[in-house]
Structures are given as structure tokens and as C-alpha cells.
């Protein structure tokens, strides 16, 4: 085989490879999007049409009743708008306070040579590896003793002390801040805590955003904690309300699908506008030193 022929062959191979790349990725993307398409289309169909004809790829008539039903007052005391508010009001304060204490601890772990630093940090790493299942029942007993059942405390309080994952991430980030900056602040007479507040925290904003977003998503999507602790329908956060919605609207498929769409929409918008932070936050979680 001549050299020219070889070259041409390898050019064909390269072409085929490129085409296969596009084809496969498009296929995977379609597989990912298809379920979203299904609920979107179904949420816009008429109720009797879905009951009569099963699934259809396109609505006969566009009907917004499914979406309207979400905002109608319900007989069962479950309201998606209120549940949405409950979720926001319980998750956001938890994330903000938790971020503060996590980064405070991370600063100490990264930049302070106190005795016990290494030991305390390995305890932290150890708890990250412990399967959460084992703490489920004892935590419930503690919360029962504290009278926390059917309050928001089990959803909010534990996270406010900080999260080990977040400390780990913030420590990596703060390690990268030059020591000179901290020393300069101390020469200027700032104490350890005020150095953290005025110098470190402002530098950490990108990292805080990416950790805060991931944390917010986890809180927004949390289903298990409220399932165990919240029994009052009026206090249901979004995920629980959505799950309950199914019992109420079992035969109203468009309404069910519309409520799913509405529930996912806020996170989708946040994700699509702040994608960069998500990707960073996640990519770093896999890099351990």
C-alpha cells in the first residue's frame, strides 16, 4: 500500500469516527430529553383525552387546565405554591448559615497550624464515608426527645452546623489563597476571625456560589427528611406535596405532569443560567489530595 493511500484511509477513518461521535452524542442527548418531552406534552393535553387514549406524542388540543389546577385552592390542604415557599424558607437559611460555618472551619483547616488540625480533619473525612443510614433511627430518637417532630428543625438545624463535603471543598479552595495576603491582614491588626470575614470570605465567593447551589439543589430535592418528620399537610415542603399530589390527582394526568414540570422548572432555570458554577463544584469533588 502506498503512503498516499494509507493517508487517505486514515482520513476516512477519522471522518467515520467524527460522524460516530456526533451520532452517539445526539442519541444520548435525545434519550435524556425524551422523558422531559413526554411530560411537557402530556401536561398540555386534555384530561379526558389522556384517560381515553393513553399516551400521545402531540396534544390534540392545547389545554392549560393542568397548570391552572396547581394554583387552585385544594380541598386537601395541599398547595404547591405554599409548599414551594416552605421549601425556599427552610432551605435558604440553612444553606447560608451552613456555608458560613463550613468555610470558617475550612479556613482553620487550611491556614491555621493549631494542634489537632490533622486529627480533626481525619474525623471529618471519616464521617463523609459513614453510610448515613446508620444514623437515621438514633437521629429520630434525638429529635423526638427534643420535640422536633412535625417542626422544621430536623430539616434546618443539622445543616446549619456545616457540611463535611462543603468543608472539604472550601478547604481545597482556601489553600490556594496566598499566605502573604493573610499575613498582611494580620500585620494590619486584623484578628483571625476578622481576616476570615473581610479577606477570605470575599475571595471565596465563586466557590461559595458553587457549593451553595449544589447544597440548595440537594435541599430543594430532599424527600426523605420531611417524609420522616413532617406530618402536617400545611407544612409540607415541595417534594412531599408533589408526592401527595399524586394521591389526589391520580386520574388527572395532565395536572400531575404539570406539577412535575413546575417543580423542576426553578432548578432548571438556575442550573442553565449558572452552569459554570455547578460544573466546577462537582468536578472538584472528585479530586482528592
All three cell numbers of 123, joined, read 474525623
Contacting residue, 55, 62, 76, 198, with other proteins by CB under 8 A: 55
User: Is there binding between residue 118 and other proteins (CB under 8 A)?
Assistant: no
Using a 10 angstrom Cβ sphere, with 0-12 exposed, 13-18 middle and 19 or more buried, the burial of residue 29 is exposed
Dist CA 172 CA 106 (whole Å): 8
| Contact mark string toward other proteins, 224..243, x via CB under 8 A | x---x---------xx--xx
CB of 36 to other proteins, least distance (A): 7
Query: Binders of other proteins among 260-279, rule CB under 8 A?
Result: 260-261, 263-264, 267-268, 270-272, 275, 278-279
User: Is there binding between residue 210 and other proteins (CB under 8 A)?
Assistant: no
User: Is there binding between residue 248 and other proteins (CB under 8 A)?
Assistant: no
User: Is there binding between residue 107 and other proteins (CB under 8 A)?
Assistant: yes
Residues in Cβ contact with 211 at an 8 Å cutoff, skipping those fewer than 6 apart: 99, 102, 166, 169, 170, 281
203/264 with CB nearer other proteins? 264
- Of the candidates 203, 213, 217, the one whose C-alpha atom is nearest the C-alpha of residue 111 is 203
- Tell me if 252 sits within 8 A of 46, measured CB to CB: no
CB of 135 to other proteins, least distance (A): 4
User: Is there binding between residue 184 and other proteins (CB under 8 A)?
Assistant: no
Where does this chain touch other proteins (CB under 8 A) — which range of 71-79, 154-162, 174-182, 201-209?
154-162
All three cell numbers of 259, joined, read 406539577
3-state secondary structure 245-269: HHHHCCCCHHHHHHHHHHHHHHHHH
4/17 with CB nearer other proteins? 17
CB of 78 to other proteins, least distance (A): 13
Amino acid at each position: 500500500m502506498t503512503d498516499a493511500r494509507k493517508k487517505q484511509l486514515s482520513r476516512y477513518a477519522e471522518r467515520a469516527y467524527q460522524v460516530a461521535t456526533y451520532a452517539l452524542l445526539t442519541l444520548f442527548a435525545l434519550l435524556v430529553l425524551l422523558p422531559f418531552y413526554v411530560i411537557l406534552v402530556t401536561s398540555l393535553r386534555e384530561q379526558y383525552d389522556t384517560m381515553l387514549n393513553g399516551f400521545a406524542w402531540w396534544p390534540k388540543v392545547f389545554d392549560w387546565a393542568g397548570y391552572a389546577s396547581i394554583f387552585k385552592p385544594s380541598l386537601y390542604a395541599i398547595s404547591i405554591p405554599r409548599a414551594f415557599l416552605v421549601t425556599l424558607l427552610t432551605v435558604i437559611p440553612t444553606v447560608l448559615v451552613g456555608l458560613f460555618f463550613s468555610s470558617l472551619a475550612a479556613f482553620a483547616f487550611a491556614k491555621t497550624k493549631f494542634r489537632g488540625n490533622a486529627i480533626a480533619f481525619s474525623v471529618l473525612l471519616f464521617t463523609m464515608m459513614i453510610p448515613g443510614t446508620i444514623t437515621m433511627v438514633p437521629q429520630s430518637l434525638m429529635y423526638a426527645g427534643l420535640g422536633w417532630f412535625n417542626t422544621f428543625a430536623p430539616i434546618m438545624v443539622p445543616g446549619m452546623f456545616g457540611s463535611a463535603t462543603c468543608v472539604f471543598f472550601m478547604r481545597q479552595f482556601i489553600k490556594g489563597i496566598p499566605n502573604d495576603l493573610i499575613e498582611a491582614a494580620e500585620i494590619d491588626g486584623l484578628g483571625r476571625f476578622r481576616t476570615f470575614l473581610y479577606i477570605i470570605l470575599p475571595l471565596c465567593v465563586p466557590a461559595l456560589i458553587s457549593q451553595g447551589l449544589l447544597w440548595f439543589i440537594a435541599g430543594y430535592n430532599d424527600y426523605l427528611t420531611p417524609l420522616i418528620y413532617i406530618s402536617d399537610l400545611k407544612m409540607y415542603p415541595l417534594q412531599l406535596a408533589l408526592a401527595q399530589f399524586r394521591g389526589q390527582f391520580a386520574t388527572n394526568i395532565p395536572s400531575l405532569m404539570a406539577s412535575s414540570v413546575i417543580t423542576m422548572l426553578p432548578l432548571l432555570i438556575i442550573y442553565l443560567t449558572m452552569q459554570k458554577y455547578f460544573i466546577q463544584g462537582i468536578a472538584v469533588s472528585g479530586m482528592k489530595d
